[in-house]
A and B are shown apart, each in its own frame.
Chain A
């Protein structure tokens, strides 16, 4: 297995938004022993940072602000991967309880509105990815399936590096400098998710 930079930890940011255990286990399945922490120094010195999240945006941002983790994230220089709510919180603003977020990506986060009353919100299940860009998706083909659960989505924009379609096209992944975000759950997306996590951990510099 390719090795991570020596002595550099993979840190999963600990906060009040679920799925941390699932992300930790998914990393374990690809041979990575990650650390779950909210310690600023530990996060700052990590080789890779994962910012997970399942939950509600305003309470998550409140928790992050109280501990100044939002400011810390803005200053990070190593690769950072936001997952689901984590990705949305890396955007500037979400419509979920009209919440100002961390502000890496300027794409707007909006609530899905069914076009004809038929589509269910949240979107729950496996959907396809297309228009894949950056080494994050190396070895992953257009049309690959990933698992998502979400009521809010980020618009397509200049930072979009993967697109999915539910009611309309939206950003399945975003990228700016050292910051990556995925709307879906790689930790629950079978082989495709495992490949993406491997790319993030072992390929992205």
Chain B
């Protein structure tokens, strides 16, 4: 009997009983209602005798599908043909919002939907079961196949325009109670009409993906704002996590360094001498300290100057010199200290740190300088000072470490701000827009 000899199933065309125009059917025997493309009457096409179900009140179409009906696009390798189109409207706080839905058909796989709002798209299929209700973070939620979806919005949707054909009844003016629950990039929606609840699940798509799937000419309309189930862009989402993990790694490294400094740096005083200096003393002012020994691995040497300067300044020319090799590190420091009844400026002490000084026998050459003229606008203090030179070896540098520890988390904080603002833009459009938070805890 050869079942394979059965004739191929063909799509058919019929005549509109209202205007006589041709109505091509693409959805085979599945189509229940079809809209005449000429007069836009809604027709019952289930039986040989086509009936008019609803006439269209205007001559001009309310909207034109961006994907022309009859166009085929590929999703996950399977072709689907756009056969139906509707414009649906919700009114929130007196403002109407409209989105567009495309019905897609494949004679083996069945029906899928595409929705488009403000340049944001969703690829949708019906859910073959009943999602369970529950709560996430105190908010109403729905659960399907292991994913939790937070309630986003409830609205009454009205169909304001239909074109093409549908495997169910459609009319201009149909209403349904619609609830959206989100788990970006997915959205779970329930639609309730009297006597029936339908669940569907959508996957966010960009306009570019849709244009590519259908090979449409030109460019898709640009997406505006953040859509309910739009996934946070990779740089926003992973940006925070990579910045956070970098910050954690660096903080750990800095902490280990800090502990190592405390444990292993010797911070040893190798010389401490008191000196007296008077300006206008004739002769060579420079002198050298006694020789001191620096031990261990190459490390820093800190020279601390502590003076009794008041309303005065002094300059110290210094050189750290290796007694055996003659190698010298030259440096200078100005120390100045002024004060009034309620102010001070400068400090009577200062220090210099010389990095990476190898072990060896060293001495410090010091050449102090002070204002020589008897009076000056800069100095009123005496032309003399006593000061102490302290030399320390292998001094831990805590300040830069602590500063770094403070700065390291900043990029992650910045990324967190970006992420949080993306989430608050998402939730701003929901029923919970003005309510607390909602967005900052959207982690996987």
Partners in one complex: no
Residues of chain B at the chain A interface (Cβ within 8 Å): none
